[in-house]
Structure 1
């Protein structure tokens, strides 16, 4: 199904889907969204791009191996739980860091980093599976 229209639209659709996945990721715990749903949307975008333009194009676009992305996400998720242990609080208790950046209050939290880790694990694992299936199908 590599029509000219699909190959032309796929990069733009992929970019929009990845942008939307980041929006869903940043919505966080209090509203529908988060790392898992955002990761599924991003992995779907990469799968669409792979179907349209080929697996080699996706591998060039994401730079790192998908399982390396998943491994880094797992590390980030695990590290996000450590600050609570250093403060002698229950495991995975939320920690917040607030600071000013150009007169804007920025609040960073450990749940945000955990969600980013989940996002990367899902993107890496699902993309790895999708790329392996697409490579197998093209043989």
Structure 2
């Protein structure tokens, strides 16, 4: 059930994909420069909140395909898991570890894993609140 105006619907069709791409940009550049998992999670949560304002909470849940609370749990798991490689190497808690992907020249790191975990926690927490408040408001009307 569409709940937004025509102008909001047209704007959302353009802005939601752009916000998602911008959040990925912020996530991937964030360890050494401004950005990171927290602000990127807020930007992507804003995109899904905009989608929900236009299309309703049921459509947003279908678009997400996972419960936002599961995002919180998986994000926490990634955040805690990013600390373990340092312990396995006998180094201090949360010491950054880097691995090169063979053949691709790509480096992966525990800070990136931690930032992805923060991204998912923020996304899940904000969307849980926004969708729940929307559903409660609809029930009371």
TM-score range, shorter-chain basis?
over 0.9
In structure 2, the residue matched to 1:35 is 37
Is the partner of 2:34 in helix, strand or coil? coil
In structure 1, the residue matched to 2:82 is 80
Number of aligned positions between the proteins: 137
Unaligned regions of 5+ residues in structure 2, if any? none
C-alpha separation between the residues in 1 aligned to 2:22 and 2:30? 13
Q: What is the CA distance between 1:10 and its match in structure 2? A: 1.3
Greater shift, 45-54 or 129-138, is seen at: 129-138
In structure 2, the residue matched to 1:58 is 60
Q: Find out whether 1:105 has 2:105 as its counterpart.
A: yes
From 40, 47, 50, the equivalent of 2:49 is 47
From 4, 7, 10, the equivalent of 2:9 is 7
Q: What is the CA distance between 1:69 and its match in structure 2? A: 0.7
Query: Aligned-residue CA RMSD in angstroms?
Result: 1.2
List, as ranges, runs of 4+ consecutive aligned residues in structure 1 with deviation greater than 4 Å.
none
TM-score, structure 1 normalization: 0.93
Is the partner of 2:105 in helix, strand or coil? strand
Which string of whole-angstrom CA distances, capped at 9 and with x for unpartnered residues, describes residues 53-87 of structure 1?
10011000001100001100000110010000001
Q: What is the CA distance between 1:14 and its match in structure 2? A: 1.0
Unaligned regions of 5+ residues in structure 1, if any? none
C-alpha separation between the residues in 2 aligned to 1:128 and 1:12? 24
C-alpha separation between the residues in 2 aligned to 1:10 and 1:123? 18
